[in-house]
Amino acid sequence: MPALDHPLIDRFLDNLWLEKGLSEHTRSAYRSDLAHFNGWLQGRGLELAAVGRDAILDHLAWRLGAGYVARSTARFLSGLRGFYRFLLSEGLISNDPTLQVELPHIGRPLPKSLSEADVEALLAAPELEDPIGLRDRAMLEVLYACGLRVSELIALTFEQVNLRQGVLKVFGKGRKERLVPLGEEAIVWIERYVREARPLLLAGKPSDVLFPSQRGEQMTRQTFWHRIKHQAAVAGIGKSLSPHTLRHAFATHLLNHGADLRTVQMLLGHSDLSTTQIYTHIAKARLQELHARHHPRG
């Protein structure tokens, strides 16, 4: 049966016209959304009147990964809720699968991220013969290895760095303290930078700041943001970046490689798990893409 001709969708739309007098435009939009959802379900061997919350969440994750904007997804979910409430009122289902599914936040786009190849190109972009380039390389390595906010990175002092144990002590929002592993690569680049470039940048000035500016002072967020954009241009990365791009890449790549959400929440310093959950949409879409490409039954 073609998805557009599903009798339950027709019954629901007729009810909208009879009971609520919704316009043809609104009913047409709901029909398109429901028909598309039904087709998506059929492709996975699922039935429109027999889905659970997990299937709806999977579809929402798919929509986000496919680039649907939050406003479009909010309209889709509004229609879906009305549809399943109608089926419940008609006694056609016993539970509403949309009850614990939250509407997406309008105006809160998914964080921009970079592929692992993009990150490698960005990390390799700085000119290592230049003290500023070597500093940039060390900063980018730490930013990606630790998922820091830019404000946390530029404020790092020597007291916060323990290279022997391989950790950073980071002070996040509200001065909340967390320990973050550095990783071997970041440690190597910090050591080289401290040995070869930092003394040249300080030019004899006393400072406890790990990554000083060319003037030997704490760098501003704006200055480091300009450095990121410069290195991205050198690397040939045409994507629009944000100051948090490497932080987003850190979270997404961890999840793609099997990290659990609570661990990523702790590493990012999020007080609320719901703040971290936005990354699961990106990571899940990537995992589904890899599964479809490489699994024999994908």
**What angle in degrees, to the nearest 10, is found between the helix axes of 70-89 and 53-65?**
160
Q: Is the dihedral of CA 135, 172, 284, 83 positive or negative?
A: negative
Q: What is the pLDDT of residue 4?
A: 45
The ranges assigned to domains in the chain are 3-89, 116-293
CATH of 116-293 given 3.40.190.10, 3.40.50.150, 3.40.800.20, 1.10.443.10: 1.10.443.10
- Note whether 52 and 94 are within 8 A (CB): no
Instruction: For 40-78, write each residue's pLDDT tens digit.
Output: 998 888 988 888 888 888 888 888 778 787 778 888 888
* pLDDT above 70: residue 282: no
Going by pLDDT thresholds of 50, 70 and 90, the confidence category of residue 107 is very low
CATH architecture designation of domain 3-89: Orthogonal Bundle (1.10)
Tell me the per-residue pLDDT of 155-182, one tens digit each, with 9 for 90 and over: 999 999 999 999 889 887 777 788 888 8
- Give residue 244's identity as a one-letter amino acid code: H
The reported pLDDT for the residue numbered 212 is 95
Of 265, 255, 260, nearest to 285 (Cα)?
255
Catalytic residue annotation = 149, 173, 244, 247, 270, 279
> pLDDT tens digits for 246-266?
878 877 787 777 776 676 777
Buried b (16+ CB within 10 A) or exposed e, 163-178: eeeebbebbbeeeeeb
Please check the confidence at residue 7 and state whether its pLDDT lies above 70. yes
Q: Which tokens is 83 given? A: 């549809």
* pLDDT given at position 109: 54
Mean of the pLDDT values across residues 99-127?
76
The SS3 of residue 8 is helix
